Amino acid sequence: MAEQYKSLHPVKYYRDYLSHNIRPDGRVFDTFRPVILNTGSIDTADGSALSKLGQTTVVCGIKAELCKPKAESPNKGFVVPNLDLPPLCSPKFRPGPPSDQAQVLSQLINDIIENSQCIDLTDLCIFPDKLAWCLYIDFICLDFDGSVVDACIIALVGALKTVKLPFVDYDAALDNIQVNLENTRPLPVHSIPVSTTFAIFDDKIILADPTVEEENLCTGIIVIVLKDDELCCVHKPGGSPLSSDELLGCIEKSKKKVPLMRDLLKTALQDVG
Amino acid sequence: MPIDHKRINGPEDTLPYQLFTKLNRKSLEQKYKELVQDGKRHDSRAPLEHRKIFMKTGVVSQAKGSAYIEVEKTKVMVSVFDPREIPNRQDYSLKGEIYCEFKFAPFSCEKRRLHQLDAEEKQYSQIMKKALEATVCRHEFPNFQVDIYALVLHNDGSALSAAITAAGLALSHAGVPMYDLITSATLGIQKDTILIDPTTIEERICRTPFWKEKEDNEHGLVVLSMLHTHNQVAQFYQSGSISLDKLPHLIETLEKACADTIPVIQQCLVKHVIKTIKKSSNVIEV
Amino acid sequence: MEATKYRCNLDILSRPDGSVLFCEGKTTVIAGLYGPVEVKIQKAHIDKATVDCHYRPKSGLPGVEDRLYESFIRNTCETSLVAALFPRSAVLIMLQEMQNDKQLISCAVNAACMACLSSGIDMKFMFGAVTAFLTKDEELVLTPPIIDKDIKALFVIVFESTEGRILACHTEGCFSKEQFNQAVSICEAQCINVFKFFKQTLLDNK
């Protein structure tokens, strides 16, 4: 009976639950779903991680290639993040070029990487004006169940921490490149961004870490990214208006997630050694 | 690389660093000799031994049916969606259609893959489609289309077989009417050496024609998919050059490898059924 | 602190239902609005109008970065428009960047609001955007610093006109919670001027 009620009156179904201060999946408004992180399981990539946020699953793989730095920034490498929302992960997506949603999320992730300064592009320079690393960071969503950006950022940090770049010997006079695979170095990761998604339901109730159903029914989304104690992204693209106190309340709530994520990363990376 | 306005683009020219490593100067003969040493392959398997398979259903919550397969390092995800109406279709087709997409993740191979489907991926999609068309009772859903997507997360050889096997499992998980369970296996051949379930390194050696001048220039890959209970071949794909005399033997070997995979699928499905029954009985008790 | 200068020319284009050339400091955007118009069947909603936003950069084709702006402006407009009045139809908002002096997003949002107002489409409230900059010396200013490197963070905050609540928010760079709070309050104060300017412009154009 509940199933039919849910599909016929989804909003009412949710309201009934929320009026009792609980969500249909048993969480209260500001609890997050359990997180799983698995790192370094794909050895064709130079760094990889898989994160699960409840059902939402994202795999992140980093491949490093060599290139020439831009003339205007000769001592900087490149970071090229792209999020793919393949038709595999949800019936909402069709095969073909990336949807608007995938493009918006790719850009948001790019902004988060840039703003949090977790990768210093000068670390990627091998020889100024001649040779630099280009990190292709590809995110693939395997299961689309809401809060994809959060899952991407967890996978990103996990994958970055496992990146090992081989040592490159560059002879500028002869333009000769010699790569030494035995001698590798880890990529310095300067900060750990932690992203939290909130959904605004019925213009007033704020749900942390929404599932895809909640995202579809809600009237607004907020993404907040913290690094250590600083904020590096408060993204609220339209939707129900909030008072500044409510917005600050969300920031406060997202702060709770930072120590949790730090512990998670620690445990996940210990396994790798 | 052409600029893609729907993705974030990197610099124009990037080269994989693997190109600049100290070259592996082993001769072809040497490589061939190393393929099987003392009756063992580089991962200490016997030539006709399949790698261990792990399978799981229900990995994608949003899909009707899904399966994950791990053949040691090779990892493939497959999801299947409800039959849906074929868009922009004028005429009525008596049989339902199957749409297959086989994709390598950009980071799944040694060389970075691009986001668009390349020729190899398109070919594999077609092979998958042919294999699954023989398995699904297409007359049960006329004028409708079932979408099947396979994504290779990590390619360490025999990815196509893994995808077909997983697709079969995902289809049964989705409850799509099928004639039979389907399993698939790959075989590589180079001269006299026959290798079941080759890894990427072995695949590469089996693909190269080594002794062009000699007559017994036998090399190549064979992929065979079998319907288990009917004992019928659902799909056969072969590349390279293999003599006609040898082929029956190869097919027999592959048939056996396919049959060996069946218990894994059956176990996986039984597990799923038990889980579902438990879940529904729990609901009734409450 | 020098106040940001706003300038605005209404109905500069003849084809769209509402159009505007909006200047915020040295940033200029042209906006045009068509609506309600016919919609593609795939995109149509049965209970409300489809709001679509197209953003064109100064040169070249729109890329992924522009898609983020588009979605930001589109969602902001969708919340403000009474979309339920026009089911199975579309409202198209076209934006063309003319000149960018770091206030692009807020200028585009303001231009979109003026285009909506000038077309006379039904709205729940007006919306106005303000850009605030956090300089390297941890100082919050409304006028864009001349050198890019002096900007530590940038805030674009969009308010609605009825209760002054935050409709949308976009940030770049790193900052503390207190700084964010401050930025919200100075933007809120400035936004009152934006709404005043909107009203004055409409009165002048009567």
Residues of chain A contacting C79 with CB distance shorter than 8 Å: 220, 238-241
Task: Fill in the amino acid letter for B142.
Answer: P
Question: CA of A243 to nearest chain B CA: how many angstroms apart?
Answer: 34
Question: CA of C54 to nearest chain B CA: how many angstroms apart?
Answer: 14
pLDDT of B282 strictly over 80: no
Q: Are B78 and A160 in contact (CB under 8 A)?
A: no
* DSSP 8-state assignment for residue B254: H
| A252-271 residue pLDDT tens | 999 999 999 999 998 888 86
| A150-166 residue pLDDT tens | 999 999 999 999 999 99
Tell which CATH architecture fits domain B51-82+94-281: 2-Layer Sandwich (3.30)
Which one, of A114, A165, A138, lies nearest residue A62 by Cα? A138
| A11-21 residue pLDDT tens | 999 999 999 99
* The pair of three-digit structure tokens given for residue B25, joined into one six-digit string: 């100067």
pLDDT of residue B122: 96
pLDDT of residue A229: 84
C-alpha B148, offset from chain centre: 13
Q: Are C142 and C131 in contact (CB under 8 A)?
A: yes
- How crowded is residue B38: how many other Cβ atoms within 10 Å of its Cβ? 5
Confidence band of B197 (pLDDT split at 50, 70, 90): very high
Q: Are A233 and C169 in contact (CB under 8 A)?
A: no
Which phi and psi (to 5°) does residue B128 adopt?
Answer: -60, -45
Residues of chain C contacting B88 with CB distance shorter than 8 Å: none
Burial of C120 (0-12, 13-18, 19+ CB in 10 A): exposed
pLDDT of B83 strictly over 80: yes
| Structural domain that includes position C112 | 6-204
Which one, of A129, A117, A115, lies nearest residue A223 by Cα? A115
Contact B105 A61 (CB under 8 A): yes
C62: Cβ contacts below 8 Å, ≥ 6 apart? B5, C54, C55, C56, C70
CA torsion, points C195, C196, C201, C204, in degrees to nearest 10?
A: 150
Number of folded domains that form chain C: 1
Q: Are C157 and A234 in contact (CB under 8 A)?
A: no
* The pair of three-digit structure tokens given for residue A128, joined into one six-digit string: 């100024």
Question: CA of A202 to nearest chain B CA: how many angstroms apart?
Answer: 24
Q: Which of A100, A115, A239 faces C173 most closely, judged by CB atoms?
A: A115
Rg (CA), chain C: 17
Which one, of A184, A191, A71, lies nearest residue A132 by Cα? A71
| Minimum Cα–Cα distance from A103: chain C residue | C64
Chains that touch A (3 or more CB pairs under 8 A): B, C
| Average pLDDT over all residues of chain B | 89
Rounded CA gap, A243 and B111, in Å? 50
Question: CA of C16 to nearest chain A CA: how many angstroms apart?
Answer: 24
Contact B7 C64 (CB under 8 A): yes
Rounded CA gap, B26 and B19, in Å? 16
Q: Are B96 and B83 in contact (CB under 8 A)?
A: yes
Task: Fill in the amino acid letter for C95.
Answer: L
Which phi and psi (to 5°) does residue B7 adopt?
Answer: -135, 165
pLDDT of A206 strictly over 90: yes
How far CA B270 is from CA of B68, B264, B273, B275, C148, in Å, comes to: 16, 10, 5, 9, 63
Rounded CA gap, B169 and B161, in Å? 13
Please state the pTM of the whole predicted model. Answer: 0.94
pLDDT of A273 strictly over 60: no
| E strand or H helix at B68 | strand B65-71
Rounded CA gap, A118 and B126, in Å? 42
Q: Are A102 and A141 in contact (CB under 8 A)?
A: no
* Mean pLDDT for the stretch of residues A106-112: 96
Domains and CATH numbers, chain A: 10-272 (3.30.230.70)
Burial of A224 (0-12, 13-18, 19+ CB in 10 A): buried
3-state secondary structure of B162: helix
Q: What residue spans of chain B are helical by DSSP H?
A: 28-35, 119-133, 159-174, 200-207, 247-285
C100: Cβ contacts below 8 Å, ≥ 6 apart? C27, C58
- Interface check A243 vs C, CB under 8 A: yes
Higher pLDDT, A79 or A175: A79
* DSSP 8-state assignment for residue B44: S
**Chain C interface with B: residues with Cβ < 8 Å:** 61-64
In this structure, chain B runs to a length of: 286
pLDDT of residue B146: 94
Does ipTM top 0.85?
yes
What's C70's domain CATH number?
A: 3.30.230.70
Which one, of A202, A240, A243, lies nearest residue A221 by Cα? A240
* The pair of three-digit structure tokens given for residue A23, joined into one six-digit string: 């969500």
- Is C1 inside any structural domain? no
- How crowded is residue C155: how many other Cβ atoms within 10 Å of its Cβ? 25
* DSSP 8-state assignment for residue A236: B
| Minimum Cα–Cα distance from C42: chain B residue | B87
Contact C169 A235 (CB under 8 A): yes
Q: Which of B4, B20, B151 faces A177 most closely, judged by CB atoms?
A: B20
Rounded CA gap, B240 and B245, in Å? 15
Q: Which of A110, A238, A248 faces C72 most closely, judged by CB atoms?
A: A238
Rounded CA gap, A63 and A126, in Å? 16
Confidence band of B18 (pLDDT split at 50, 70, 90): confident
First CA to last CA distance, chain C: 32
Q: Which of C61, C62, C64 faces B8 most closely, judged by CB atoms?
A: C64
Question: CA of B87 to nearest chain C CA: how many angstroms apart?
Answer: 11
| Average pLDDT over all residues of chain C | 92
- Interface check C139 vs A, CB under 8 A: no
Q: Are A79 and A121 in contact (CB under 8 A)?
A: yes
Q: Which of C50, C78, C169, C181 to mutate to test the interface with A (most CBs of A within 10 A)?
A: C169
- Interface check C97 vs A, CB under 8 A: no
| B198-242 residue pLDDT tens | 999 899 888 888 766 666 678 899 999 999 999 999 999 999 888
| Minimum Cα–Cα distance from B4: chain C residue | C63
Q: Are A117 and A225 in contact (CB under 8 A)?
A: no
Burial of B76 (0-12, 13-18, 19+ CB in 10 A): buried
- Interface check A36 vs B, CB under 8 A: no
| C83-93 residue pLDDT tens | 999 999 999 99
pLDDT of residue B210: 73
Q: Where are the domains of chain B?
A: 51-82+94-281
Question: Locate tokens 């070997």: which residue?
Answer: B253
Rounded CA gap, B132 and A126, in Å? 49
Task: Fill in the amino acid letter for A174.
Answer: L
| Minimum Cα–Cα distance from B3: chain C residue | C63
Q: Are B236 and B226 in contact (CB under 8 A)?
A: no
Question: CA of C100 to nearest chain B CA: how many angstroms apart?
Answer: 21
Measure the CA angle with vertex A171, ends A167 and A175; round to 5°. 115
3-state secondary structure of C80: helix
How far CA A247 is from CA of A215, B188, C167, in Å, comes to: 18, 60, 11
Burial of B194 (0-12, 13-18, 19+ CB in 10 A): buried
Question: CA of A55 to nearest chain B CA: how many angstroms apart?
Answer: 7
